[in-house]
Amino acid sequence: MAEKKHLDIKGEVCPYTFVKTKLALEGLSSGDVLEVVTDHKQAVTNVTRSCEAEGHDILSKEQLNENDWKLTIRKK
Amino acid sequence: MADFTEEQIRRYSRHIILPELGGKGQKKISDAKVLCVGVGGLGSPNALYLSAAGVGTLGLIDMDRVDVSNLQRQIIHSTPDQEKLKVQSAKEKINALNPDVEVVTYTEKLSSKNVKEIVAKYDLVVDGCDNFATRYLVNDACFFAKKPNVYGSVFRFEGRATVFDPRSEASPCYRCLHPYPPPPGEVPTCHEAGVIGVLPGVIGVIQATEALKLIVGIGRLLVGRLLLYDALDMTFREVKVPKDPGCPLCSKHPKIKGLIDYEQFCSGV
């Protein structure tokens, strides 16, 4: 059964947005889903690109409010 | 999330980002125990970079004190460190660089009496010694203990590096390259030969790179390959070093079955 985990990295900037996302993904099993909330706009592009480069799927990118975005990532 | 502190996440972020390492690779580095034999020209960059990388336990063995003539190449030591034990001087620099590293210091002379017990405490050995007696002792002790031995040496403008990994059947050992030490007096000593100060930096960093690759389990190691660096020509060459079926130590019919204390004499080769 695939798990869903939530990671709040508001306040973090690049490259720590990806570093923390990557560490969280390492703690999951293949097929598990990670929801990442960030208030660092560039992270939406950068974390997406870095996760895809490591083979994970970006299931969605969603703007939650004026400051926050949510990335939903499925671990490869 | 792997159990890193906020500071460790920042300190090791450039490692964690690497696909080949990640948090898992960094954890392996944090769990690793490396013994640096010698804290001189080669040991300086080795100890500094392995500490910066976050190696969990770093053993330093050296009985010498810092001398002003060391400072042209032994960059872990500074002018105010003169007369200090090299392991103490190095420990202070490492503690300042990275408090995550546990430094264990040894000031006794490495011999057949203590080498087995010391090597047993570590995952791998980085050989930065400057004499044949220690080099053969380290090689033989690593062979018997099945611990990887990252070899480096410097002489004038030329450096050499390779990895002996006795866990692999196919790996040669130092005695496959040079079965026995030359008689004392036949090779020039360090102070007769001289060494360009930057040379141990290059070779030591190659050794540290191989040590990290061994720890993480990535890449292609220098096992069975001797890397030769010529600083004057600025060229790297690679020579295949096959396992010697007649090696006195690591062949099927070894002549050497125990540790040997050779007479101590200085040489870079």
Mean pLDDT, each 10-residue run in order, chain B (269 residues): 87 98 98 98 98 98 97 98 98 98 97 97 96 96 98 97 97 97 76 89 98 98 98 98 97 95 67
pLDDT in the model for residue B269:
46
Enclosing domain of residue B214: 10-240
Q: What is the pLDDT of residue B185?
A: 74
Is residue B268 included in any domain, yes or no? no
In a domain, B260, yes or no: no
Residue B234 counted as domain residue: yes
According to the model, what pLDDT value does residue B190 have? 60
Report ipTM (2 d.p.): 0.89
Structure tokens at B69: 């003539």
CA distance linking residue B8 with residue A64, whole number of Å: 30
Name the closest residue on chain B to residue A6, using Cα atoms: B1
Residue in the block written with tokens 């040997």? B260
Say yes or no for a CB contact (<8 Å) between B1 and A15.
Answer: no
In a domain, B113, yes or no: yes
Q: Hey, what are B68's tokens?
A: 């002003």
- Which chain A residues are closer than 8 Å to B2 by Cβ? 23, 26-27
Query: Active-site residue A51, yes or no?
Result: no
- If one counts the domains in chain B, the total is 1
Distance CA A67, CA B192 (A): 68
Closest CA to B51 of B91, B4, B89, B106: B91
CATH of the domain at A60: 3.30.110.40
Q: What is the per-residue pLDDT for A3?
A: 87
Query: How many other CB atoms are found less than 10 A from the CB of residue B161?
Result: 26
Number of domains forming the structure of chain A: 1
φ/ψ region of A46 (left if φ > 0, alpha if ψ in -120 to 50, else beta) reads alpha
> For position B180, which CATH number holds?
3.40.50.720
Joined tokens for residue A11? 């306040």
Q: Are B1 and A53 within 8 A, CB to CB? A: no
